[in-house]
Amino acid sequence: MPEDRPNNNPEDVPELKNENDDVHEGEDRLLVEPPDHNVGLEPFRYPDPVQEPVTLHRTGKIKALQQATLNARQQAALNECNHWLGTKEGPGSNEVIFNKVFYGRDERQPWCQAFAWYVQWNADLVIGQHCPAKTAYTPTAANWYKDRNLWGTTPRVGAQAFYNISGLNRISHTGVFVTEVLADGYFKVFEGNTNSEGSREGDGVWLKLRKGLGPGGGFGYPIYDGVSPPDPDPKPDADPDLVVDGVLGPKTYARLQDSLNDTGANPRLDEDGISGPLTKRALQARLNQTHPPVAVDGIIGPQTVRALQRNVGADVDGLWGPNTTRALQKTLNERDL
């Protein structure tokens, strides 16, 4: 559901205007579809190619700079996006089919990357390792492209867009398929879990008009044709995955603290691997958002453990044992709580 607005620089991203707005004669002004229309809910169709330099007029719409002939996989991804365009959450927040398919159960987590995975899976990109493997964590998906030199800052038709728009100081939202490359840095892209304001905690599947990605944002370029790239050599400075061993030690606690900081822990936690009262309360506050009700009292009792087990997909018995810790470790390797 709506939670925040993108941290776009207002000098870089003009306010969207309706053509019915008052415009003084002779004023040169950029006009696009109004936010409540948001490019419409009709299936996307590519416009005619533009051969000449684009001129923006106050009564004109942005015209495409790039026209691409789609291959079978690109067309399959585009068809999948069109099929789900206009889909809304409900009746609960983050209650969408993409989460049910991704997690294999009724899980209500932020779902922009789960939607991207769903589209790419149905376009036969995941099986052939032509795009990120199954993950709901946007930094992990972005790193897949970076590690294979499939990353850049230039929008291309079919690219996956990654944004830092939430103040988390990391990649925090994604759009699965760029449909048009436009004048002055604008592009159109299909996104899940957004809304008319461009939030990363939205209400449905939209075709968004965007400009700017935020610090560290970029585009991943799925391999829609050709041979899959080899797995990259591990980077020595990359954060290693947690060992899924069921041992609740300092490394697991430190990764949990990092996850809680990413999801808004207040006050921010020291990522020291020590489970103190602040960490316990932050965990309870987060679980109260995802699987309420949870009392935020710093006491990890059966109520808190059951909420955690639901979050990470463990058996729900209220007892925190090795199986629950393994599920927690596996989850932290894929996404935030």
| Whether residue 13 has pLDDT greater than 90 | no
Using CA atoms, how far apart are residues 106 and 293, in angstroms rounded to an integer?
A: 17
Are 140 and 155 in contact by the 8 Å Cβ rule? The answer is no
Q: How confident is the model at residue 127 (pLDDT cuts 50, 70, 90)?
A: low
Other Cβ atoms within 10 Å of 179 Cβ, number: 23
Q: Which two tokens stand for residue 58?
A: 């106050």
The whole-number pLDDT of residue 40 equals 36
| Whether residue 54 has pLDDT greater than 60 | no
The whole-number pLDDT of residue 32 equals 30
Q: What is the mean pLDDT of residues 187-213?
A: 90
Which residues of the chain form CATH 3.90.1720.10?
72-220
Q: What is the mean pLDDT of residues 51-73?
A: 43
Other Cβ atoms within 10 Å of 215 Cβ, number: 11
Q: What DSSP string describes 176-233?
A: EEEEEEBGGGEEEEEEEEE-TT--SS-SEEEEEEEE---TT-EEE----SSPPPPPPP
Are 202 and 2 in contact by the 8 Å Cβ rule? The answer is yes
Of residues 133 and 42, more confidently modeled: 133
Match domain 72-220 to its CATH number in 3.90.1720.10, 3.90.1300.10, 3.40.50.2000, 3.40.50.300: 3.90.1720.10
Q: What is the mean pLDDT of residues 190-196?
A: 92
